Chains A and B, each alone.
Chain A
């Protein structure tokens, strides 16, 4: 499977629990982005990461949310003490290493299947 992988595909958590969402980028991609899509709303940027670095977290809520992309392993979006308003689809996207496949190709983001989080 050469595409972006996310797991789990569906996650149910009770209020107050922690949710941990994982994303493995496409092979050859070193840039990872997380987006959230609330019902009947558009996609909203959350965070942009490269290996071991957070590049832009301007879309992340100030509390309870964190993200990482370690040297080894998938990127993880962590939501602590979930509330019902966190129920949404969370998508991860990746883009190629800058200049690796042509400059312009580096701007193109490819999405994973998403994790549907339901908070009960």
Chain B
């Protein structure tokens, strides 16, 4: 079983729609959860972090965490073509600093 799994994609949505990206993780002791955006040929860019159950909103982005289900998601409202990228889910297993476990990523395309 992989540490972090993401829906395989690719995901294609029209401009203005809501894009929904999902991620599950295997370690119940995981404490910290992150979403990164990576444009082709570029480095990952941190866009959201979430640590507690529930929703966290930042602009057009909403992260949702359900520790009981070991599930984290990212919603992108009013999707724009500039949101087209690969979205990486990352998990830190413990409450201490350290390595991140990444999913393979979901490629999102927003078409005009």
Q: Which residues of A contact B (CB under 8 A)?
A: 31, 33, 35, 41-45, 48, 55-56, 58-59, 91, 95, 98, 104, 106-114
Number of A-B contacts (CB under 8 A): 57
Task: Tell me whether B46 is interfacial, beta carbon within 8 Å.
Answer: yes
Q: Which residues of B contact A111 (CB under 8 A)?
A: 36, 43-46
How far does the alpha carbon of A104 sit from the alpha carbon of B46 in the complex, in Å?
14
B residues 84-112 with Cβ under 8 Å of A? 88, 90, 92, 97-105
Report yes or no: A104 in contact with B98, Cβ–Cβ below 8 A: no
Q: Which residues of A contact B44 (CB under 8 A)?
A: 43, 91, 111
Report yes or no: A42 in contact with B105, Cβ–Cβ below 8 A: yes
Per a CB cutoff under 8 Å, which of A43, A56, A109 touches B46? A109
Band of interface residues on B: 20 to 34
Known pairs A43-B88, A45-B100; list 10 more (Cβ under 8 Å): A35-B100, A42-B105, A91-B44, A107-B92, A108-B49, A109-B100, A111-B43, A111-B44, A112-B43, A113-B42
Report yes or no: A42 in contact with B46, Cβ–Cβ below 8 A: no
Sampled A-B contacts (29; CB under 8 Å): A31-B97, A35-B100, A41-B104, A42-B103, A42-B105, A43-B44, A43-B90, A43-B100, A44-B102, A45-B99, A48-B98, A48-B99, A58-B99, A91-B43, A91-B44, A95-B97, A98-B97, A104-B49, A107-B49, A107-B92, A108-B34, A109-B34, A109-B46, A110-B46, A111-B43, A111-B45, A112-B43, A113-B42, A114-B43
Report yes or no: B43 in contact with A42, Cβ–Cβ below 8 A: no
Report yes or no: A42 in contact with B88, Cβ–Cβ below 8 A: yes
Q: Which residues of B contact A112 (CB under 8 A)?
A: 43
How far does the alpha carbon of A38 sit from the alpha carbon of B102 in the complex, in Å?
13
Report yes or no: A43 in contact with B102, Cβ–Cβ below 8 A: yes
Q: Which residues of A contact B49 (CB under 8 A)?
A: 104, 107-108
Task: Tell me whether B32 is interfacial, beta carbon within 8 Å.
Answer: yes
Q: Which residues of A contact B45 (CB under 8 A)?
A: 111
Q: Which residues of B contact A106 (CB under 8 A)?
A: 97
